[in-house]
């Protein structure tokens, strides 16, 4: 008998069904300055002097730095590599000061487009120094504005031979959007300088080596069920040497292996795997790390073309070690403190496990023999050692096509639990493809839509995504997870558009798409209730869903209308048992073309009111709107 997927789905759709409790999450990739200069609260750019022309042909160890001799001091400055803090962090600055002049001689850093500081706030400064001359050296560290006015300062003396970390707190007295950090040595002498760092005292949850509070809070406010990280293309990298290795990103920050970012800048890996896991925990999201499937990006070497074959495999003789690294990652996340890698997690400050449940292997790779051989090795080893880990495979960069088909074939052969589908398409595509998952065989691998977005940040784009998401909920038995991409981008440094959240040094600008994602993630359910909402007018550009959250008992209705006319319908709540007579009603609506921008950040915001909720709710929703109704269980 032939398998009739649509008939199977129809039957499933007739009854309430369990859907994924982890459906809506986020995907964080260090793209468009998302980590350094973004979520990472570090305010100094190129703190370790490791920028180099491989990152970006115009960059070097002194990028973002200025040699400061304003008070007529003089001496020499050089970039050195002999006897560094650590072999992983080879470059540092050597100052040999003959005359400190009236102000001292040293270094100045302008941060990422200027350092924004606020009067009355404290900032944590630290630096590694190696005093080579015999006398102790007096130093000052100051924040100054563009006219040289001092905003806050601290003084200290360095005397230790060999590398030593010095830490100071600076109180800032005035607001300034474009401050510079000056580190000045006040007397003649010779000193090595590295890891010049400045963090706001207040980071997200006041974590050390933490995240920028406003940006992190905006992400947390989505209430994502999971976070996929660290990429994207960043994970599989630009050639084998650029593959992201998690072990290079843990431990003391001055000992981590910094790396070129595939998006043409530098990764300090100040946010490394420890910080990613901790951030997931802090925002209540399950961690979903993605490791390269032993191959680099097929676009390696700049061949950004469909069908390009810049993909390179880790040499087979190195694959056992690579596979072991992945097994060690599971131990790092979940192992007891007595295990080798669990002990490293504990030493970093987290003895309790991070409760890793999901692991992605591969990112939209080209499905070649080279890929397949390595994917199988990793998959088999992880599956055997950790049957409890839910593995997510990969099926290429598009919603269909050769890699998609080959990826699915392999996943079904190996019975991979879930595969990661990606699509960036026009809003019309999302409206046309609402039944995409109706025909998926429920017995095959499940789906994680790891990256999707319609091409734009207008309300119409966001609503096309909303319509589609009501259908992801309807198919939440087979679509287990979904995340919009990319998540955040720094204005002036975007390598990809559109994004969910834009920011500069001081502000965060959530898009309309953000508010849609937030409404879905914070109003998720784990049971889909069919047949509750019925439209009585044309519905080709609309979608609706009704879910129940078994934890709170709340019932949630979502009605997305990406069409240009009002939409009419009814919600029959009579069959849902006792419910409260009032509900919260949240609506996002406006003109189709409107968008939230830096100049107009609040053009479209969700508005919430309380409404009466009859058992038969007759509704009229406006053109271009998303309505969310949340009804508590009745007493």
The whole-angstrom separation of Cα 589 and Cα 515 is 11
Please give the DSSP secondary-structure letter assigned to residue 120: T
Half-sphere exposure for 614 (CA within 13 Å, toward CB): 5
Judge whether 454 and 443 are in contact, CB under 8 Å: no
| Beta carbon of residue 114, minimum distance to ligand AHR (angstroms, whole number) | 27
Positions that interact with ligand AHR (CB under 6 A): 29, 31, 231-233, 363-364, 397, 451, 485-486, 496
Active-site residue 364, yes or no? yes
| Beta carbon of residue 229, minimum distance to ligand AHR (angstroms, whole number) | 11
Phi, then psi, of 336 in degrees rounded to 5: -65, 160
Looking up tokens 């160890």 gives 61
Tokens of 367: 């499905």
Phi, then psi, of 131 in degrees rounded to 5: -80, 120
Closest C-alpha among 603, 580, 437, 448 to residue 514? 603
| Beta carbon of residue 142, minimum distance to ligand AHR (angstroms, whole number) | 39
Looking up tokens 């607001």 gives 175
| Beta carbon of residue 306, minimum distance to ligand AHR (angstroms, whole number) | 11
Output 250 or 297, the one with its CB closest to ligand AHR: 297
Output 233 or 556, the one with its CB closest to ligand AHR: 233
Output 229 or 617, the one with its CB closest to ligand AHR: 229
Alpha-helical regions (H) of 386-481: 402-414, 427-432, 459-474
| Beta carbon of residue 464, minimum distance to ligand AHR (angstroms, whole number) | 18
Question: CA geometry: angle at 285 spanning 283 and 291, to 5°?
Answer: 120
Judge whether 69 and 105 are in contact, CB under 8 Å: yes
Between the alpha carbon of residue 615 and those of residues 103, 107, 575, 584, 618, the distances in Å are 76, 69, 9, 15, 9
Output 34 or 416, the one with its CB closest to ligand AHR: 34
Output 233 or 243, the one with its CB closest to ligand AHR: 233
Question: CA geometry: angle at 33 spanning 29 and 34, to 5°?
Answer: 40
In 513-554, where do the E strands start and end?
Answer: 527-528, 533-535, 542-548
Q: Which residue is nearest to ligand AHR (CB)?
A: 232
Find the catalytic residue in 42, 364, 451, 473. Answer: 364
| Beta carbon of residue 452, minimum distance to ligand AHR (angstroms, whole number) | 10
The whole-angstrom separation of Cα 635 and Cα 162 is 69
* Residue 436 Rama label (left phi>0; alpha psi -120 to 50; beta): alpha
Output 500 or 594, the one with its CB closest to ligand AHR: 500
The whole-angstrom separation of Cα 527 and Cα 16 is 7
Output 36 or 331, the one with its CB closest to ligand AHR: 36
| Beta carbon of residue 34, minimum distance to ligand AHR (angstroms, whole number) | 10
Question: CA geometry: angle at 247 spanning 244 and 250, to 5°?
Answer: 110
C-beta atoms surrounding 504 within 10 Å:
17
Residues annotated as part of the active site: 364
């Amino acid at each position: 008998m032939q398998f009739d997927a649509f008939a199977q789905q129809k039957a499933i759709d007739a009854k309430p069904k369990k859907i994924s409790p982890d459906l809506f999450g986020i995907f964080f990739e260090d793209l468009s300055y998302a980590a350094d200069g973004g979520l990472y609260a570090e305010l100094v750019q190129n703190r370790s002097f490791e920028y180099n022309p491989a990152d970006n042909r115009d960059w070097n160890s002194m990028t973002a730095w200025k040699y400061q001799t304003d008070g007529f001091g003089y001496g020499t400055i050089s970039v050195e590599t002999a006897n560094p803090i650590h072999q992983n962090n080879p470059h540092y600055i050597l100052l040999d000061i003959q005359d400190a002049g009236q102000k001292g001689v040293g270094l100045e850093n302008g941060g990422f487009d200027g350092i924004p500081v606020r009067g009355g706030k404290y900032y944590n400064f630290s630096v590694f120094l190696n005093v080579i001359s015999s006398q102790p050296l007096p130093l000052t560290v100051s924040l100054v504005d563009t006219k040289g006015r001092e905003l806050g300062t601290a003084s200290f003396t360095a005397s230790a031979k060999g590398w030593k970390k010095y830490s100071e707190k600076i109180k800032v007295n005035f607001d300034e959007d474009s401050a510079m950090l000056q580190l000045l040595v006040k007397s003649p002498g010779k000193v090595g300088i590295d890891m010049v760092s400045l963090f706001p005292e207040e980071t997200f949850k006041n974590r050390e080596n933490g995240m920028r509070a406003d940006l992190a809070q905006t992400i947390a406010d989505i209430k994502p069920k999971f976070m996929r990280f660290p990429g994207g293309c960043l994970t599989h990298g630009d050639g084998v040497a650029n593959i992201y290795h998690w072990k290079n990103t843990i431990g003391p920050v001055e000992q981590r292996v910094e790396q070129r970012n595939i998006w043409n800048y530098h990764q300090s890996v100040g946010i490394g795997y420890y910080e990613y896991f901790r951030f997931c925990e802090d925002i209540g999201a399950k961690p979903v790390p993605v490791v390269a499937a032993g191959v680099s990006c097929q676009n390696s070497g700049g061949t950004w073309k469909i069908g390009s074959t810049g993909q390179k495999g880790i040499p087979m003789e190195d694959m056992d070690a690579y596979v072991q690294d992945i097994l060690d990652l599971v131990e790092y996340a979940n192992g007891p403190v007595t295990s080798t890698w669990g002990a490293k997690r504990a030493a970093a400050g987290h003895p309790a496990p991070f409760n890793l449940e999901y692991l992605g292997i591969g990112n939209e790779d080209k499905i070649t023999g080279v890929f397949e051989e390595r994917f199988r090795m990793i998959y088999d080893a992880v599956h055997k050692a950790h049957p409890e880990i839910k593995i997510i495979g990969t099926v290429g960069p598009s919603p269909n096509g050769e890699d998609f088909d080959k990826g699915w074939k392999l996943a079904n052969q190996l019975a991979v639990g879930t595969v990661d589908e990606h699509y960036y398409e026009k809003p019309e595509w999302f409206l046309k493809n609402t039944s995409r998952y109706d025909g998926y065989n429920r017995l095959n691998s499940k789906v994680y839509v790891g990256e999707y977005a319609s091409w734009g940040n207008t309300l119409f784009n966001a609503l096309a995504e909303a319509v589609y998401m009501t259908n992801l909920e309807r198919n939440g038995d087979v679509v287990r997870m979904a995340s919009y991409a990319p998540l955040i981008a720094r204005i002036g440094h975007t390598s990809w558009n559109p994004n969910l959240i834009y920011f500069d040094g001081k502000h965060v600008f959530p898009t309309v798409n953000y508010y849609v994602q937030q409404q879905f993630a914070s109003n998720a359910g784990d049971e889909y209730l069919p047949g509750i909402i019925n439209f009585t007018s044309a519905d080709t550009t609309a979608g609706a869903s009704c879910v129940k959250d078994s934890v709170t008992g709340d019932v949630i209705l979502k009605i997305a209308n990406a069409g240009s006319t009002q939409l009419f319908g009814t919600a029959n709540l009579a069959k849902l048992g006792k419910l409260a007579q009032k509900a919260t009603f949240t609506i996002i609506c406006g003109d189709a073309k409107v968008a939230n921008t830096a100049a107009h950040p609040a053009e479209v915001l969700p508005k919430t009111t309380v409404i009466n909720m009859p058992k038969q709710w007759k509704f009229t929703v406006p053109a271009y709107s998303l309505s969310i109704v949340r009804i508590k269980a009745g007493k």
